[in-house]
Amino acid sequence: MRSTLQQAFGPRPPRPRAQGNAYSVGQQLKKARLARNLTIEQVTQATHIRAYAIDALEDDNFDALPSPVQARGFLRLYANYLGLSLEELIANQRASSAELTPQQTETISTAVETEAPETEPIEEEPAEAEAEPACTCAGTSESEAEPPEPETSESISATPQKPLLSQTIFIAIGEQLRTRREGLSLTLDEVERHTHVRKHYLQALEAGDFDHLPTSVQARGMLNNYAHFLDLQVDAILLRFAEGLQAQRLERQPQPLEKQQHARFEHGIPTSLRRFLSLDLIFGGGLILLLLFFAIWGTSQVIRLRAAPKTEATAPSISDMLLVSPAPDSGTSAAAQTSELITPSPANVPTSAVAYPTLIAGHVQVIVVGLERAWVRVTVDGKIELEGRILAGSAYPFDGSERIEVLTGDGSAVQIIYNQTNLGVMGTFGEVVDLIYTPKNVLKPTPTPLPTPTATPRVTPTATGTPTPRYTPTPTAKP
């Protein structure tokens, strides 16, 4: 930037710094900053002015700044931040102008002059146009590639109702440039004289209308010069500009046919539903529904298996016998509908009370009460009436004329009531018990003794015949 200014305006003679002057503009700014206990870093963060520029302003070293216009803008911005008036600072400096040299007075007054635009003859504009290619990145002169100026500035700053991504980026860059320029109290004419960028190009940059610039290369060069002049973060702005160019290139590419058809399909779907109708959501939702279906089906199968009817004993339950009155037959008498609750002795009482039916008068009456599940066979007058497992808490009444035989595989699980007398359990746990109930007493069958096999005598051998002696020769007579 310094080389550009030297080429445009020529080298400037060095100016001595103000020494021993407590009433200069820089000294007053420094005194106000120290009175507020502010550091240079804090001022830099608040005003976005570089630290070297603040040091130069406080030391009245205006040669360290790129141009007097920037020096004036930095002074005004710094003074407003400290709550001071630049005009009062200038008045205080002029009151003590006797202590300054004429050359220092001329330097400071030039740096803080009013904001009225400097008038320059129009004839000097071609000279600036000749020096313009030196500060831009374009290979050709602006006078050849320069389009006609727009009729009004409003047509440049006009933006569509729904700006694209690239247009949004360009507008943000232009707004940053315009805000910085207004913060420095600079006009477009002053910026044009020092950067050699035409005014309508500056307007296009601040409006974010980079399409009105000749080429993207020239636009980048003008943006670089303008950002350097305003002392902005040039690299960040150029990187943002590159992102805008990339987005603009993607926006100008034609969409494939499939994307166009998909866009037409989405156009007919409401926006509220379009966010949910995605391939991932449809696939995930279908998978969740499938898992939910299998979970419900598996639960129903488990419930159905658990609710399967249990295998009942061959004998009817006590509830069936109490509710239904069976018809009497030749072998057994029917149980009456009325029932009687019998409480056995404590030694033989089951944990739950059992309702026993009242039997019709007969010779032999036996009620088999199931305390636990056990196998039982009941034979009445030689006819088997019950054979199988009985249920706990069930009562089975029987009556006969001559005898009733009860055989069980677990004596502790069966209780017997014989002729209205509670005899208790038949035996101990796991004991095989077989009892015969007659009209007069209870018999325990004696096991039939097995026949003892007798030894069959073996066949005695017959004596063999004795051999008969042979003929014995008789002696002959001797002569």
- The C-alpha atoms of residue 163 and residue 169 are separated, in whole angstroms, by 10
What is the DSSP secondary structure assignment for residue 158, as one 8-state letter? Answer: -
Determine whether 287 is exposed, middle or buried from the number of CB atoms within 10 Å of its CB (0-12, 13-18, 19+).
exposed
Fold of 165-252: 434 Repressor (Amino-terminal Domain) (1.10.260)
Q: Residue 447's pLDDT is what?
A: 67
Q: Residue 32's pLDDT is what?
A: 85
**What ranges make up the beta strands (E) of 308-394?**
339-341, 355-357, 364-370, 374-380, 383-390
**In CATH, which of 1.20.910.10, 1.10.260.40, 3.40.50.80, 3.30.450.20 is domain 25-84?**
1.10.260.40
- The C-alpha atoms of residue 106 and residue 96 are separated, in whole angstroms, by 14
Non-local CB neighbours of 186 within 8 Å, separated by 6+ positions: 69, 73
Angle at the Cα of 267 from the Cα atoms of 266 and 272, rounded to 5 degrees: 70
Q: Residue 65's pLDDT is what?
A: 79
Residues of the chain with pLDDT under 50: 1-22, 100, 105, 107-108, 111-160, 322-353
Q: Residue 408's pLDDT is what?
A: 94
Check if the beta carbon of residue 118 is closer than 8 Å to that of residue 193. yes
- The C-alpha atoms of residue 200 and residue 152 are separated, in whole angstroms, by 10
Are 25-84 and 165-252 in the same CATH fold?
Answer: yes
Task: Give how far Cα 368 sits from Cα of 57, 99, 355, 371, 392, Å.
Answer: 120, 136, 12, 10, 11
Task: Output the DSSP codes for 165-197.
Answer: HHHHHHHHHHHHHHHHHHHTT--HHHHHHHH--
* CA-only gyration radius of the chain, Å: 63
Check if the beta carbon of residue 196 is closer than 8 Å to that of residue 229. no
Q: Residue 378's pLDDT is what?
A: 94
Task: Give how far Cα 437 sits from Cα of 267, 308, 441, 451, Å.
Answer: 95, 39, 6, 28
Token couple for 460? 């005695």
CA 162 to chain centre: 34
Q: Tokens 């009497």 — which residue? A: 328
- The C-alpha atoms of residue 156 and residue 135 are separated, in whole angstroms, by 24
Determine whether 54 is exposed, middle or buried from the number of CB atoms within 10 Å of its CB (0-12, 13-18, 19+).
buried
Determine whether 95 is exposed, middle or buried from the number of CB atoms within 10 Å of its CB (0-12, 13-18, 19+).
exposed
Report CA dihedral (50, 54, 57, 58) to the nearest 10 degrees.
Answer: -170
Parse the chain into domains and list their residue ranges.
25-84, 165-252, 364-443
Task: Give how far Cα 49 sits from Cα of 31, 41, 57, 292, Å.
Answer: 18, 10, 11, 64
